[in-house]
Chain A
């Protein structure tokens, strides 16, 4: 009801409010109105955090409703039901599928206060001027469009962004150092017969195939043109190597959910497997030694961002920009960094973290005191180092970004065959 009320009167009321807001720089004039705004955000569980919604209410006054879905459902909804959401919290590879449908609107970077401080990965693709751009759907390749109303992707910074980056990380293999008892340096170890019956890989085709490709490439078996966009032949070869390993009993189990990966690792059923950063934390918080092992071939990385529904306008659109500016202003960044993720504007997050936290999470320095997660649980003690080191060390060694392939449907069928083999 509230929504209709706004859209019906938006021409009169919001028009006036915006005019007023531009005439008088202080947004106080519509401060009462914005309290009645509700923004509906949906996305994957990663960043749909209740703490964020509560803080939005406190800091900005309006209501943020969050819905968490799995990434397939997120893609479908963003592509097919533009009126069911105001803000889409999606990954960059999902953006590659969804943006051409025209359901999201381009964002004017001149309204984004901290735009200049956003990490290079999301702007020109380069973390540092010397960086080499990784394979797969690198965020900057789908981060800009030609202008308002654009459905294309622009090669350079145009001033119109498709998604505002929010959260990202570099993924690798998790290991149990207490059970392996020797250094692990390469992705090839996943298929090392030494770990027969003690390895695992995730059963989510789009990500699992990337991990598989990292392994095959490291073994020197396959040279990929682009691991993020394989040819049918490359898919066949990759799956053949993994099917053979599966039949030989290399894998103990596959996992599909976060909890499964934690249990496999914590129970010692598996000693080496593809894993996500918070899962490592969960294993560690049970007092079990677990390392997010940096590997010489590099990381498989992913990034998420928020996009605005094309249906957003008037005061709701203003509220959405307000939300984005707030998101990048540091509090959320600090919150995310304390969970092992990275923020798009690290320097603003610094103000919301202690020197010890910043040193541990971002700079890769030894902790000077106990490190706790946002829920207050101890994660590391004084003297501990973050696996993989500093931000530049980790994000500088990305080999491949999560991606969607042209041969996606073929790949999915092959993956199903692998599971059934």
Chain B
């Protein structure tokens, strides 16, 4: 008995078991359920257990699906470019230009202040700002930059991406800042001594060493943008669709199997995307 308890295998499993149980019930089981339901059929009031490929046939047979997936990818790609650019710059500034740790912490906390309010409130507050009679338009008109209010500021792809960038840039800043702080400063001095310019140091030393942080931020941003539906609905005035909105429309109409099928396809797409990302950077090795 004593030997059994001391066995490394058993104690290992016992220590891991709480997490295994939690993940099984709250991650594996729901995904299995969704996959199973995606093969069911639905009437107007009820879902009927069956094994039918109807949901997938409809999904892959409609050009709306392709357009919507393409649109989702477009939002993810553009948002990624902007959040990476802004996020990297902020992290770089915080990590290398602010010398005192106290100021670093203070400024970093400042970045998180917007997160004290809800996601949705931060998003919706753009609407009156960008509206036809909103602050942005009236200011531009007062400056004489434009004569007519700009309609594309709100309820357009512009406003959707603006909101995404606003909401998710911090998810880029945090991991990149984290990896930057761990870069050994003597490496930068060595680069300097070897005659590298600032840009060369950035490109050849800092960016390669920041890759894991960039990758973690990328995974955050891409998965959140691809899974979002509420930002697209509000900021596009319901006029654009992404995959999340297809799913939420189906749920509202009680078409759970169809929603489940779309979810499975979305999940597969996101997993494949992440798998491709991880081909470039081995996060675990470089952490």
Chain A contacts to B: CB under 8 angstroms: 70, 72, 75-76, 79-80, 97, 101, 197, 200, 203, 205, 246, 251-256, 263, 267-269, 408-409, 412-413, 416-417, 419-421
Contacting residues, chain B, for A269 (C-beta < 8 A): 131-132, 154-155
The answer on a CB contact under 8 Å between A197 and B151 is: yes
In whole angstroms, how far apart are the Cα atoms of A168 and B268 in the complex? 47
The answer on a CB contact under 8 Å between A419 and B249 is: yes
**Distance from A263 Cβ to chain B, minimum over Cβ atoms (Å):** 8
Contacting residues, chain B, for A197 (C-beta < 8 A): 151
Contacting residues, chain A, for B44 (C-beta < 8 A): 75, 79, 97, 408-409
The answer on a CB contact under 8 Å between B238 and A419 is: yes
Chain B contacts to A: CB under 8 angstroms: 44-46, 58, 62, 64, 67-68, 71, 127-128, 131-133, 151, 154-155, 233, 237-241, 245-246, 249, 252-255
- Give the top 4 A-B pairs by smallest Cβ distance, nearest first: A253-B237, A254-B238, A420-B241, A79-B45
In whole angstroms, how far apart are the Cα atoms of A203 and B155 in the complex? 15
Given the interface contacts A253-B155, A420-B246, does A76 sit within 8 Å of B128 by beta carbon?
Answer: no
In whole angstroms, how far apart are the Cα atoms of A72 and B128 in the complex? 31
Closest to A204 in B: B252
In whole angstroms, how far apart are the Cα atoms of A417 and B45 in the complex? 22
Q: Could you show 25 A-B contacts with beta carbons less than 8 Å apart?
A: A76-B45, A79-B46, A97-B45, A205-B253, A246-B239, A252-B155, A253-B237, A253-B238, A254-B239, A255-B237, A256-B238, A263-B127, A267-B133, A268-B132, A268-B133, A269-B131, A269-B132, A408-B44, A413-B58, A413-B62, A416-B64, A419-B238, A419-B249, A420-B240, A420-B246
The answer on a CB contact under 8 Å between A419 and B154 is: no
The answer on a CB contact under 8 Å between B249 and A251 is: no
The answer on a CB contact under 8 Å between B254 and A76 is: yes
Closest to A419 in B: B241
**Distance from A242 Cβ to chain B, minimum over Cβ atoms (Å):** 12
Contacting residues, chain B, for A80 (C-beta < 8 A): 45-46
Contacting residues, chain B, for A200 (C-beta < 8 A): 237
In whole angstroms, how far apart are the Cα atoms of A409 and B233 in the complex? 22
Q: Which of B68, B155, B252 contacts A420 (CB 8 A)?
A: B68
Contacting residues, chain A, for B233 (C-beta < 8 A): 256
Contacting residues, chain B, for A408 (C-beta < 8 A): 44
